[in-house]
Structures are given as structure tokens and as C-alpha cells.
Amino acid sequence: MTDETNLVLEERRGGVVLLTLNRPERHHALNQALGEALAAALQRAGNDPDVAAIILTGSGTKAFCAGADMLEASGVTEGRGRIAGAALAITRVSEMPLPVIAAINGYCYGGGARLAVACDIRIASPNAMFRLPGSEYGLVVAAATLPRLVGAARAKELIFTARPFNAQEAFDYGLVTGIHPVDELLPAAWRMAETIASHSREAVREAKRVIDAATLSDEARAMEDEANRRLRGSTEQVARFRDATRRVTGR
């Protein structure tokens, strides 16, 4: 098991901070502890006036983030907040004034895909795999944010079908901006982040703020949240989530 004090590894180079999810035994699934650790690390970076850009990745080469921890959410393991850990981390990334680059190395499913969508730029290794299974589980995932990246029709296809798709497809759809060999993914992320950090930090922050205002809808995000409040806990949603948990965990 990973020591909870090392759930998020932090590395600093000049004005860039690398945050590495480090729960490899669960493919970096976002339980409450990991969600809180990531949120705290993001807040530290955001409050540091010398930090200009953030890289987010997962340790190893198998996963970026496998989503919310289904064992914790289903009550099989102890968890103080169930799915709250994933929501906390995603919200903190969404609210970051600094640019965040996701270096996606492996599984990027569910809440992990939603976490990546919340980042500003995404690059991937060839083994990256994506899936937004919300409709299978009886919930709405990324409907407010994915369309600005891949277009409305493609977002509907990926969300309605909940099908997996690979790194090349993600690149073709516009979800990721580059594909790099596994051993070159982080160097590519560092180069991009350091280039960003070399520019006017105030101008980059303002550019991010304007682009987000032009492409993100607070009303749509509020609608997604309200829809999930209605859906979560319904008879159908609970049954679907239990079925999905059994398939994934065998329990």
C-alpha cells in the first residue's frame, strides 16, 4: 500500500511544479485521501507567486487516473467521503488560475477523464486509454466541459455510448494536443510548461481567464451538477453502479 503522506509526489523546477498521483495499486483511483492530497497540493502551487505552470500525471506507465475509487464509493472499503474525493480534486483543477498540463500515461477513465478534461492542455502516451462511463453508471460526466474540446456531436457520442477510445482517437478528436513515446511524455510536458513559465505570468493567467470565459458555461456546469443531484441515489443509478462495481472489482 502507498503511504498516505506520499499520495501526491511534488517536484519543482523553477516556475513549474510536477504533481504525480501515486496510488499505483489502485491505478491512482481518486479516493477521499488522494482527492484531498491533490487538492492541497494544487492549492499550495496556486498560492505560490513563483509558480507559473503545473504538470499533472500518474506514477508509472499504466494509469493517469482510473477515476473515482469504486471500492470506496460502494462501501467495500472504508472511506470518509465516498465520491467526494474525486469531486474535490476536479473542482480544484477547474478553479486553478494557473495553466495545468495533463501528461496522460495509461488509463484515463471516468473521474480521471473528467480530471484531464478540467486541465488546460492534455498530451498522452500511445498506451493512453480514455472512457467516460457516466451514462452506464446512471450519471452525467463531462457533458458541460467535453464539447468545447471535441465538439458537441463527438461529445454526445463518447458520453452516450461510454465507449473506450485510444490515444490516437483522442488526438484526432482534439482531446489531446500531442502523442509522445512513454519515456518522452514527461520531458515533453516539462518543455511545454517551462516555455509557458518563461512568458508573462500575468498575461498567461489573463489569457486562460478569457479563453475559459469564451468557451465554458457556468450555466451548463450548474445544470450538470443539478442533474447528478437528481440522478444520484435513484433506484436505477444505485443498481447500475452496483453492477458496474461488480464487473470492475469482482465483488
What is the Cα–Cα distance from 251 to 246, expressed in whole angstroms?
A: 5
Q: Could you say which residues of the chain have pLDDT below 50?
A: 1, 75-82
227-247 burial, b at 16+ Cβ within 10 Å, e below that, comes to ebeebeeeeebeebbeebbee
SS3 label, residue 180: coil
What is the Cα–Cα distance from 64 to 237, expressed in whole angstroms?
A: 26
**Residue located via cell numbers 489531446:** 176
**Under 8 Å CB-to-CB from 76, ≥6 apart: which residues?**
245, 249, 251
Fold for domain 4-185? Answer: 2-enoyl-CoA Hydratase; Chain A, domain 1 (3.90.226)
Give pLDDT tens digits for 17-73. 999 999 999 999 999 999 999 999 999 999 999 999 999 999 999 999 999 887 776
- With vertex at residue 185, the alpha carbon angle to CA 181 and CA 189, rounded to the nearest 5 degrees, is 150
Residue 76: how many CB atoms within 10 A of its CB? 13
SS3 string, 31-59, reads CHHHHHHHHHHHHHHHHCCCCCEEEEEEC
Which pLDDT belongs to residue 70?
76
pTM of the full structure:
0.92
Which pLDDT belongs to residue 3?
56
